[in-house]
């Protein structure tokens, strides 16, 4: 069964001419047909188009790092000629007029796109229940959420209807669903991957990253999509390492910091137990454990929920019914059209964040809220910088809890926001972070988060690669 194989294994089979790209896509299409109704990971499946493209590659010599490899794409990343809805009614029928930079780079390596995945509307949420269309379910327990906002991208890799996918991470939207779905998810350093063609939520925080079940697959895709892009002013001119080679280096002697503040949050005992075992095993592999302090991380959630909604308020002002997207069918004048379009087009969580952000930026409140939050952000960055003077990377649980049940937190936004209490500080500091599966509790996955120095994704991949050789989480298949 080809759908059980990772990107690296499929790549090798295709290069040896043992299988054709069309056979690979057909296998994942069959898996999609067997699982999709139960999981609901895709807004727009593209398997038939991918199969047509694959057949064109069948008789060609393999060219490109991802020749004939299926990849799923979060529905806030533009693919020219395909719908990009951001899981919102306001963009329900919007067709992308150009490719995002990451899509151009995947196309250059002959990757095939099998679908646009479900998400929380405009990437605002932690459960993929805020999609305007339908919630996605966790493949390990369909009564539970897959995490968010990139829940569809995580679920499709977990259920194996695609071997890899792209997501975006503004406050934990790759790492938290990776943890809940038992896969690997990496958020690169801010500026490592171009945001050109990513629909903006909070521009100083958003970053595109990768989901896969094997570290080598994450490394390969990250290498392909990384690098400077002149069309994105926040894209950095920093050389991209050969991650596939870097990840194989020994981890013996690496110093891993354990922030005492992470364990002052209300962690479920199952999460704490899995994490303790994880760091004990890393110590057995030759890593040195050292306690560090990040005194300002307790302010990360309040700071984030001023900065991110403020930027969202500005970014989402463009959806007014004038140029593109949904427009209310009945209105009396221009102002009435604006108001009704936005009221009918946006969901409750998006409206909540727009209102929060607009208030924080309003006259008389800017200094008290937005400016103060940015100062807290600098303090959090400084905490990490100080900790990294004595350690090579930092480790903690990815989320404080196991995957929660569908509907459990919809009535309590604060409880939903606290799902990201361990991931948000990483975005505020612009650092790379990866979630790796570290344990199981009653059949549910537990994730551990590794946080690196700026531009040092390679060290995170090294630890992930060493760990998976012991844990072998990728051997488990959800029973759908």
On whether the CB atoms of residues 261 and 298 are closer than 8 A, the answer is: yes
The DSSP 8-state label assigned to residue 325 in this structure reads S
In three state form, how does the secondary structure of 294-316 look? CCCHHHHHHHHHHHHHHHHHHHH
Closest CA to 212 of 45, 70, 400, 86: 70
5, 40, 74, 116: the catalytic one is 74
Closest CA to 4 of 42, 41, 31: 31
203 among known catalytic residues? no
153, 161, 168, 173: the catalytic one is 173
168 among known catalytic residues? no
CA atoms within 13 A on the CB side of 368: 7
Distance CA 34, CA 410 (A): 29
Distance CA 249, CA 286 (A): 13
Residue 329's contacts (CB-CB under 8 Å, 6 or more residues apart) are none
Positive or negative torsion for Cα 331, 336, 341, 346: negative
88, 131, 149, 179: the catalytic one is 149
390 among known catalytic residues? no
Distance CA 462, CA 247 (A): 4
Distance CA 371, CA 353 (A): 18
Length of the chain in terms of residues written: 480
Closest CA to 310 of 371, 356, 367: 356
The DSSP 8-state label assigned to residue 369 in this structure reads I
On whether the CB atoms of residues 25 and 112 are closer than 8 A, the answer is: yes
Active site residues: 74, 149, 173
């Amino acid at each position: 069964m080809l759908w059980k194989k990772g990107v690296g294994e499929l790549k090798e089979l295709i290069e040896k001419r043992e299988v054709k790209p069309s056979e690979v896509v057909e296998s994942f299409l069959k898996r999609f047909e067997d699982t999709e109704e139960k999981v609901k990971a895709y807004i727009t499946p593209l398997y038939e188009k991918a199969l047509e493209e694959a057949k064109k590659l069948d008789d060609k010599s393999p060219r490109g790092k991802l020749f004939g490899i299926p990849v799923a794409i979060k529905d806030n990343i533009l693919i020219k000629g395909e719908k990009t809805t951001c899981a919102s009614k306001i963009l329900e029928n919007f067709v992308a007029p150009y490719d995002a930079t990451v899509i151009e780079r995947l196309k250059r390596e002959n990757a095939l796109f099998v679908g646009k995945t479900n998400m929380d509307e405009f990437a605002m949420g932690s459960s993929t229940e805020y999609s305007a269309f339908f919630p996605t379910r966790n493949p390990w327990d369909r009564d539970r959420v897959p995490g968010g906002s990139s829940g569809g991208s995580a679920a499709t890799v977990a259920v194996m209807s695609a071997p890899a996918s792209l997501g975006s991470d503004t406050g934990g939207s790759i790492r938290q669903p990776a943890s809940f779905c038992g896969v690997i998810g990496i958020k690169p350093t801010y500026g490592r991957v171009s945001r050109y063609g990513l629909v903006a939520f909070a521009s100083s925080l958003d970053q595109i990253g990768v989901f896969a079940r094997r570290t080598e697959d994450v490394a390969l895709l990250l290498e392909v999509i990384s690098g400077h892009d002149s069309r994105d002013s926040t894209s950095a001119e920093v050389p991209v390492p050969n991650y596939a080679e870097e990840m194989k280096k020994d981890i013996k002697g690496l110093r891993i910091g354990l922030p005492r503040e992470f364990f002052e949050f209300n962690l479920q005992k199952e999460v704490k137990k899995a994490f303790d075992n994880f760091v004990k095993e890393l110590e057995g592999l030759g890593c040195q454990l050292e306690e560090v302090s990040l005194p300002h991380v307790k302010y990360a959630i309040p700071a984030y929920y001023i900065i991110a909604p403020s930027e969202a308020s500005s970014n989402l002002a463009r959806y007014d019914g004038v140029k593109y997207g949904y427009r209310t069918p009945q209105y009396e004048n221009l102002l009435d059209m604006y108001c009704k379009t936005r009221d009918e087009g946006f969901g409750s969580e998006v409206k909540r964040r727009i209102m929060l952000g607009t208030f924080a930026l309003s006259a008389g409140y800017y200094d008290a809220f937005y400016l103060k939050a940015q100062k807290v952000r600098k303090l959090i960055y400084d905490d990490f910088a100080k900790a990294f003077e004595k350690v090579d990377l930092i480790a903690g649980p990815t989320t404080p809890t196991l995957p929660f049940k569908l509907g459990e937190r919809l009535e309590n936004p604060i409880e939903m926001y606290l799902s990201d209490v361990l991931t948000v500080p990483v975005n505020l500091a612009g650092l790379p972070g990866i979630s790796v599966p570290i344990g199981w509790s009653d059949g549910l996955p537990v994730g551990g988060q590794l946080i690196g120095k700026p531009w040092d994704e390679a060290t995170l991949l090294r630890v992930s690669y060493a760990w998976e050789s012991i844990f072998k989480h990728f051997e488990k298949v959800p029973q759908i």
